[in-house]
Structures are given as structure tokens and as C-alpha cells.
Amino acid sequence: MRFAVDGPSLLLQGTLLVVGILAIMLIAERQIGAERPALAAVSHANRFDAFTPQAAAIPGSAAELDADRAGYSQTEVFPLTLFALSGMLLFPAANDLLTMFVALEVLSLPLYLLCGLARRRRLLSQEAALKYFLLGAFSSAFFLYGVALLYGYAGTLRDCRVSATRSVSIAATNRWR
């Protein structure tokens, strides 16, 4: 895997890193609803948390209610968010199509899981996660099909060589007219 380390990719990576750190800090904040009594009545442990306390618990089961009453928080959210952020950081530096596909998968797979971890309306969020996963699988298949077509045409996966092959073939076509 080859990466482009230039000014624009470093700028985009820095911007993504700053926004990602701010997002992690916002996700980690547990005292947002503590000031308002209306929100404190809704959240059981006097905190405002959008993620379910236990991802493996069946929605509405006694195990989930016990975890909610005990004040357990979802710890899987932070590594999943950081994996998605690392996929975002790979995108601007991707120099070939295979690296771009790996970045796409590292970005999207944690997002499928995060989509299914909503605290309220758990069944709907799990259904949305499944639909998002199926849509992502089809779009990844289309992406790989396009990569295979480009590889068959140019004989390489590198972006610069694919564009050079295209410009050579256009010049050859114009010369024979």
C-alpha cells in the first residue's frame, strides 16, 4: 500500500483529526442532561447517553434494564469511532484503488455497528444497521467491480498510472484518425 504524503492530504488529515477528537469528546460527555430536570427524568442515571448500556442484551430485556439502572455505559463506542476515524484518515492519502477500498471498509464497518447501538428504539436501530450493512455490501461490490474493470484496462491499480494509460490511449486514438 502506498500513501500520498503531500500538503492537501496532510491538511485534510489534520482537519479530520481535530474534528474526530472533538466528536470523541462530545460522545464521552455524560453530564449534558444533568442541568435540566426534564432530561434527568428521562435518563435513569442522571446522564444523557445516546448509546445502549449493553450491546449484547436483547432490547427491553431484564439484563438491559439492570445495566441501565446500574449506570453502565457503552465502551465499544470509542474504539469503533476511532476505527472509523482511521478509515477517514486513510482516504486522502490513498494512492491506489486497493488502499482506497481498504480505507472504505475500515471506515464503514464500524459505522454499521454504531448504527445498531442506539439506546432508544433499539429494534429500529438494529434494523437500520442491517439495511445499512446490506447497502454497503452492494456498494462495495460495485466499487470492486469498477476496480477490476480499471485493472483490466490499465494493468495497474495506481491512480497516476491509470490516468497515464488513459492519456496514452487517447493520444493514440487521435493519432490514427
pLDDT tens for 58-94 read 666 777 677 777 766 667 788 888 899 999 988 888 8
* pLDDT tens readout for residues 98-123: 889 999 999 999 989 888 877 677 77
Please report, as a single letter, which amino acid is at residue 174: N
Percentage of residues in the chain with pLDDT exceeding 90?
A: 18
Q: For residue 91, with 0-12 CB atoms within 10 Å meaning exposed, 13-18 middle and 19 or more buried, which class applies? A: middle
Please report, as a single letter, which amino acid is at residue 97: L
Instruction: Please report the pLDDT score of residue 7 as a whole number.
Output: 83
The answer to whether the beta carbons of residues 33 and 47 sit under 8 Å apart is yes
Question: Between these two residues, 15 and 32, which has the higher pLDDT value?
Answer: 15
Alpha-carbon gap, residue 80 to 27, rounded angstroms: 12
